[in-house]
Structure formats: structure tokens, C-alpha cells
């Protein structure tokens, strides 16, 4: 006589348990579709629009950031180097090459959750297109390391994983579909401290 | 046995439905989305410059070289006019609706003149403006929004530390006041 209530209970447990579990797994596993990746750099050009997919919208609502609009720019994030190894705050890197055309860009470091990493007062934690030194052909080389280097240098000294964030302001790439043709700077690891 | 399989099958279908409902409903229920955070900053029609370090509001300038201020507006009664001026190398404006979807964005290259002068109007207010354009709005950019509520974020860049005060004053001194379109 308890057969039917038991079967209903089984259905409900599977429905609610499975639904909640699969939704949380799906939100952890994906950061949304519509990403464009250029080497290690990843950007979401439509994240702030109503064209963003439901997974991206859920993430966006959870993060609650003021995102850059289409006429404002595009944010590229790298969490691996050119060879696919995760970026570590214990290693030093060199970012070299060119950025896509933009009126202004900044390069900064965040932790693996996206919170900005700051440096103690005299040390540079970020560079911009205004204060980056370039070679004669317009390319640049930026060293990211714990100890100071000559030329372009950003201080990188953290215990855990890090991410590099390249923000392009007023760039035609934000609205173009031909983004895959673009040059992005190359991230090479140049050495690691002992753990 | 067959009825148990049926119960499991019904459960799986229900799980799929609940999965979809959670994903679709989540953006409205987190309470930490950009619109909710802007709402909790304070009153309408006022630019709030964001702090430079993480804080309780959840909103801050993540990029050390970009300074942003946000203003919440409701244009059901009257249009809102965004005005800002100052000596910054580059500024950008973006408007979002209550779902935090971008509705409009522009930067200094696409504006008339060097200052920010944008009026957000509803479609019916736009019709009235077409019949009678106040002289004050001749150089303003008129933007029609379908969602009468939303917020606007004004950003200015500060490539060097010496340009920080100018960028901060630019976004902090911006006005976001309602504008009366009736001929006085």
C-alpha cells in the first residue's frame, strides 16, 4: 500500500536532486559559450549583450561586474602560457609581440579567481600602451617576474595561480567577426622559483 | 519493477526541467548582478564613482588605469541627460537595462565635440522631441531606450598616475539629471 507514495518520492528526489546537482555542475564546468580564443587569450565579446547564452548570463549575474560595452573595448584573459601550462605566480614570464589595434590597452595580473593582484607601492603591477617601450618595428617585450628587469617590467610575485588580463579600449575587434586573424602577444615562461 | 523504472524516468525528465529552470532563473535571483548592485549604491540620477579597492558594494575599479562612475535612471517621467566635461585622453559611456544587458555604448571618438552630452529618451518622448527640439539639445546625442529603467556607466582612462585626478574628477563631476522637454 506504500508503493505509490514511494515511487512518487523516488521521482521527486531524482528530479530535484538531479536538477540542482546537474545545474551546479554545468555552471562550474562552463563559463558560457561564445568565447573566442587566440592562443592562450580568451575573450567574450557578447557577454554583456542580450545575445549571451543562459550559462554566460548566469555567470555574469553571479559576478555582478560592470562589463565593457561594445564601443568601449574587449577584455582578454590568459590563464595558461603559450604551451598550455597554467600560469603560476612563482614563475616568470615574457609577453611579447603586438596587440590588436586599439586606442589604449592595459595589461594587469589577477589571481585565478579574477581578483586584481596589487604590488607594494614602488613596483609596477600593470602597464599601459602609453608607458610600454617598443622596438623599432612596434613590437614589445614585457617581463613579468619577482625581481626587477630592465625594459618593460611588471612585478609578479604570488603563491598561487595567476591570470594575465589584457584590456583593449576602443578597438575595432570588439565588433568584428574576423577576430581569429588577429595578432595577440605571445606568453612564454622564462623560469620558475623552487617551491 | 516496471513502475519503478517509470518513476525513475519521470524523475529524470523532471531533473532536466529543473536544470533548465535553474539556469534560466539564476540571473534574476542571484542578488549580486550588476543592476542589483547599482541599485543598492543609492538614489537615482546621481553618478557614484566606484572605489579603487574591493568593498561591500561589490563594485570597484578593477583596472587601475580606468576610472568608472555609475548612475541609475528611470526615464518614464522625464528623459535623463548625461553631461560630463574635463581633460581626459579617452572616455566611454555604456547604458545597461535592468537585466544588465548593454543597450547603448559610445566613446569620445563618436561624439559631437569633446564632452559627454547624451540624452536617454523613451520612444514617445522621442516623438515629442522630433516635433520640437529644444535648442539646448542641438548638440546632444539622443538615444531611444525601450526599457525605461537602467543604469549608465561612464569611464575615463588614466594611463599615468598624474592623470588620475583628472579621470576621477571627470567621472565624479558628471551629471545625470532629469531633463524637461516641454517648451517653457
Return per-residue pLDDT of chain A as tens, 195 residues. Answer: 678 888 899 899 999 999 999 988 888 877 777 788 888 998 888 888 888 888 888 888 888 888 888 888 889 999 999 998 999 989 999 999 999 888 999 999 998 888 888 788 788 888 999 989 999 998 999 999 988 888 999 999 888 889 999 999 988 766 555 555 678 899 999 988 865
CA-nearest residue to A65 within chain B is B34
Supply the ipTM of this predicted assembly.
0.84
Question: Looking at beta carbons, which residues of chain A come within 8 Å of B3?
Answer: 3, 7
How far are the Cα atoms of A36, A59, B22, B62 from residue A26, in angstroms, in the given order? 20, 11, 11, 27
In chain A, residues with a C-beta closer than 8 Å to the C-beta of B47 are none
Question: B62 CA to chain A: closest CA distance, Å?
Answer: 6
Contact A7 B58 (CB under 8 A): no
DSSP B131: H
Q: What is the mean pLDDT of residues B5-15?
A: 92
Residues 17-36 of A with CB under 8 A from B: 17-20, 22-23, 26-27
Percentage of chain B surpassing pLDDT 70? 98
**How far from A167 is each of A42, A100, A149, B25, B108, CA to CA, in Å?**
11, 11, 23, 30, 18
Cβ pair A3:B3 closer than 8 A: yes
Question: Per-residue confidence at B17, pLDDT binned at 50, 70, 90?
Answer: very high
The alpha carbon of residue A170 is apart from the nearest alpha carbon of chain B, in Å, by: 7
- For residue A105, the surrounding DSSP H or E stretch is strand A104-111
pLDDT given at position A58: 86
Is the alpha carbon torsion for B160, A66, A108, B61 positive or negative?
positive
Mean pLDDT across the stretch B50-55? 88
Grid cell of B104 as nine digits: 547603448
A133 touches chain B (CB under 8 A): no
- Closest by Cβ to B62, choosing from A52, A54, A116: A116
Say which of A15, A65, A71 has its CB closest to residue B107. Answer: A71
Average pLDDT score over residue span B49-60: 88
Positive or negative, the CA dihedral B17, B23, B25, B31 is: positive
In this prediction, residue B184 carries a pLDDT of 47
Torsion sign over Cα B34, B115, A73, A161:
negative
Of B24, B107, B157, the CB nearest to A54: B24
Question: Which among B10, B24, B105 is the nearest to A69, CB-wise?
Answer: B105
Tell me whether residues A14 and B34 touch, CB distance under 8 A. Answer: no
| Nearest of A120, A126, A85 to residue A104 by alpha carbon | A126
Contacts with B, A 84-113, CB within 8 Å: 103-104, 106, 108, 110
Amino acid at each position: 500500500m506504500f508503493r505509490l507514495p514511494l515511487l512518487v518520492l523516488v521521482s521527486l528526489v531524482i528530479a530535484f536532486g538531479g536538477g540542482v546537482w546537474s545545474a551546479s555542475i554545468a555552471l562550474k564546468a562552463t563559463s558560457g559559450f561564445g568565447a573566442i580564443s587566440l592562443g592562450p587569450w580568451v575573450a567574450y565579446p557578447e557577454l554583456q549583450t542580450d545575445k549571451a547564452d543562459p550559462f554566460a548570463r548566469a555567470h555574469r549575474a553571479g559576478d555582478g561586474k560592470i562589463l565593457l560595452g561594445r564601443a568601449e573595448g574587449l577584455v582578454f584573459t590568459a590563464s595558461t602560457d603559450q604551451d598550455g601550462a597554467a600560469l603560476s605566480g612563482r614563475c616568470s614570464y615574457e609577453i611579447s609581440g603586438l596587440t590588436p589595434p586599439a586606442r589604449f590597452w592595459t595589461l594587469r595580473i589577477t589571481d585565478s579567481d579574477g581578483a586584481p593582484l596589487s604590488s607594494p607601492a614602488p613596483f609596477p603591477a600593470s602597464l599601459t600602451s602609453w608607458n610600454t617601450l617598443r622596438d623599432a618595428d612596434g613590437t614589445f617585450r614585457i617581463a613579468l617576474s619577482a625581481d626587477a628587469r630592465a625594459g618593460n617590467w611588471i612585478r609578479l610575485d604570488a603563491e598561487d595561480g595567476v591570470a594575465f588580463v589584457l584590456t583593449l579600449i576602443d578597438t575595432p575587434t570588439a565588433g568584428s567577426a574576423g577576430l581569429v586573424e588577429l595578432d595577440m602577444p605571445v606568453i612564454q615562461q622564462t623560469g620558475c622559483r623552487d617551491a | 519493477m516496471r513502475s519503478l523504472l517509470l518513476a525513475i524516468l519521470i524523475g529524470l525528465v523532471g531533473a532536466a526541467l529543473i536544470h533548465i529552470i535553474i539556469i534560466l532563473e539564476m540571473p534574476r535571483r542571484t542578488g549580486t548582478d550588476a543592476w542589483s548592485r547599482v541599485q543598492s549604491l543609492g538614489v537615482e540620477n546621481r553618478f557614484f564613482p566606484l572605489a579603487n579597492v574591493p568593498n561591500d558594494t561589490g563594485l570597484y575599479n578593477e583596472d587601475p588605469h580606468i576610472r568608472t562612475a555609475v548612475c541609475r535612471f528611470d526615464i518614464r517621467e522625464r528623459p535623463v541627460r548625461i553631461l560630463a566635461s574635463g581633460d581626459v585622453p579617452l572616455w566611454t559611456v555604456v547604458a545597461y537595462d535592468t537585466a544588465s544587458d548593454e543597450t547603448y555604448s559610445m566613446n569620445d571618438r563618436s561624439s559631437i565635440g569633446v564632452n559627454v552630452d547624451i540624452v536617454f529618451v523613451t520612444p514617445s518622448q522621442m516623438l515629442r522631441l522630433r516635433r520640437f527640439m529644444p535648442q539646448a539639445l542641438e548638440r546632444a546625442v539622443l538615444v531611444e531606450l525601450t526599457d525605461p529603467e537602467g543604469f549608465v556607466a561612464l569611464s575615463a582612462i588614466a594611463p599615468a598616475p598624474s592623470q588620475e585626478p583628472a579621470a576621477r574628477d571627470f567621472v565624479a563631476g558628471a551629471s545625470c539629471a532629469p531633463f524637461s522637454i516641454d517648451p517653457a
